[in-house]
C-alpha cells in the first residue's frame, strides 16, 4: 500500500450510501484496499445516525443521487446545516445524463461519480481534498465542477478562473460603493448575483455569506458582512495565484 494512503487510513472514514450494496461493493473494496475505512448505509436516515454517532470521524460521504426516502441533496443539506458537519460530498450516479445543473444542488456537493467509471481519478480527488483540508483547515476552492462540465479542459478551467477573478472583484467593488450610499436593496441584488460564482469554485463559505447578505442580514450589519465576503474572495485569489502563476489574476 502506498505510504500516503496509509497515512490517511488512520483518520479518514468514508460513508457510502446506496440502496443496493452490490452496486457499490467494488467501490468500497477499492477504497479499503487503499487504506480507507468504508462504512455502509442504505438510506439518508441511516446516514444521519452514522454522522451523529461518529461526530467528525466521517471525512467523505458518497451517496446514491436518487436514494429514497430522502435523496442525496436533501441528506447532504441536513448533514451540513443541522448536524454542522462538512464532509467531502460525492454524488453517485448510474448514468452521465443524470448530472444536475441546479445551482442550489451544486452548492452542496464537491463532485459526482458515475458508477462503473475509472476509480483512480476519484481516489486522487479524495486524497487531494484531504491534503487541502489538512493544510488550510477548510476548502478554499475546488475545480471538480469545472472539470466535470468541461471534460477536464485546461483552457476552459483557466478562462473560468479568470472570469471569476475579474467579475467578482468588480461586483465586490460595487458592494462597497452601494454601502456608502446606503443602497441596501442593490447590495442584496449584487450578492445574489455573485453567489453562483462562489458555487462554481465550490467555496461554500462564500455562498453562505452571499445568502446572509441577500436574505438574513439587517441593513446595519451589511458593511461587516461585505468585509467578510471580500476576505473570503481574497483567500481564493491568493490560492489561485499560487496554483496558477501564469494567469492574470
Residue 112 is given by DSSP the state E
37 and 155 in a single domain? The answer is no
CA 142 from centre of chain: 7
199 and 103 in a single domain? The answer is no
Going by their DSSP bridges, the two strands 13-17 and 111-114 should be labelled as unpaired
Domain boundary among 139, 172, 200: 139
Give yes or no for a contact between 91 and 18, defined as CB atoms under 8 angstroms apart: no
169 and 229 in a single domain? The answer is yes
What tens-digit pLDDT sequence spans the chain (249 residues)? 344 344 433 458 899 999 999 999 999 999 998 888 899 999 999 999 999 887 657 889 999 999 999 999 999 999 988 887 888 899 999 875 544 545 556 667 888 889 988 898 889 888 877 665 544 444 689 898 999 899 989 999 999 999 999 999 999 999 999 999 999 999 999 999 999 999 999 998 899 999 999 999 999 999 999 999 998 898 898 888 878 888 877
Give pLDDT, residue 85. 83
105 and 155 in a single domain? The answer is no
Q: Would 144 be classed as within a structural domain?
A: no
Give pLDDT, residue 23. 94
Give yes or no for a contact between 213 and 169, defined as CB atoms under 8 angstroms apart: no
Bond before 69 cis per omega within 30 degrees? yes
Q: Among residues 224, 232, 195, 198, which one has the least CA distance to residue 210?
A: 195
Residue 247 backbone phi and psi in degrees, to 5: -90, 150
Q: Would 248 be classed as within a structural domain?
A: no
- Which three cell numbers, joined as nine digits, stand for 64? 446514491
- What CATH number has the domain bearing residue 92? 3.40.50.2300
Residue 34 is given by DSSP the state T
**H or E element that contains 149:** helix 144-150
What per-residue string of b and e applies to 133-157 under the rule 16 or more CB within 10 Å gives b? eeeeeebbbbbbbbbeeeeeeeeeb
Number of domains in the chain: 2
First to last CA, the chain: 39
Q: Would 39 be classed as within a structural domain?
A: yes
48/13 Cα distance (integer angstroms): 15
64/62 Cα distance (integer angstroms): 7
- What CATH number has the domain bearing residue 209? 1.20.120
161/244 Cα distance (integer angstroms): 9
165 and 121 in a single domain? The answer is no
Q: Would 157 be classed as within a structural domain?
A: yes
125 and 177 in a single domain? The answer is no
Give pLDDT, residue 189. 97
10 and 111 in a single domain? The answer is yes
Give pLDDT, residue 16. 97
Domain enclosing residue 164, as ranges: 149-243
237 and 205 in a single domain? The answer is yes
Q: Would 249 be classed as within a structural domain?
A: no
125 and 183 in a single domain? The answer is no
Give yes or no for a contact between 96 and 114, defined as CB atoms under 8 angstroms apart: yes
For residue 185, count other CB atoms closer than 10 A to its CB.
10
Amino acid at each position: 500500500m502506498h505510504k500516503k494512503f496509509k497515512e490517511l487510513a488512520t483518520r479518514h472514514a468514508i460513508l457510502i450510501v446506496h440502496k443496493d450494496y452490490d452496486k457499490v461493493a467494488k467501490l468500497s473494496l477499492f477504497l479499503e484496499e487503499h487504506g480507507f475505512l468504508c462504512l455502509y448505509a442504505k438510506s439518508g436516515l441511516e446516514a444521519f445516525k452514522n454522522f451523529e454517532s461518529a461526530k467528525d470521524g466521517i471525512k467523505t460521504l458518497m451517496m446514491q443521487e436518487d436514494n429514497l426516502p430522502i435523496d442525496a441533496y436533501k441528506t447532504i443539506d441536513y448533514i451540513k446545516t443541522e448536524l454542522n458537519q462538512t464532509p467531502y460530498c460525492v454524488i453517485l450516479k448510474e448514468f452521465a445524463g443524470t448530472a444536475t445543473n441546479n445551482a442550489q444542488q451544486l452548492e452542496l456537493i464537491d463532485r459526482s461519480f458515475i458508477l462503473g467509471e475509472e476509480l483512480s481519478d476519484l481516489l486522487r480527488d479524495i486524497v487531494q481534498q484531504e491534503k487541502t483540508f489538512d493544510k488550510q483547515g477548510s476548502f478554499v476552492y475546488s475545480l471538480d465542477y469545472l472539470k466535470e462540465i468541461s471534460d477536464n479542459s485546461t483552457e476552459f478551467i483557466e478562462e473560468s478562473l479568470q472570469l471569476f477573478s475579474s467579475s467578482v472583484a468588480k461586483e465586490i467593488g460595487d458592494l462597497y460603493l452601494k454601502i456608502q450610499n446606503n443602497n441596501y436593496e442593490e447590495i442584496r441584488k449584487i450578492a445574489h448575483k455573485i453567489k453562483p460564482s462562489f458555487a462554481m469554485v465550490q467555496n461554500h463559505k462564500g455562498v453562505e455569506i452571499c445568502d446572509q447578505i441577500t436574505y438574513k442580514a439587517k441593513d446595519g450589519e451589511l458593511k461587516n458582512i461585505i468585509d467578510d465576503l471580500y476576505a473570503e474572495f481574497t483567500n481564493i485569489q491568493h490560492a489561485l495565484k499560487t496554483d496558477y502563476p501564469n494567469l492574470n489574476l
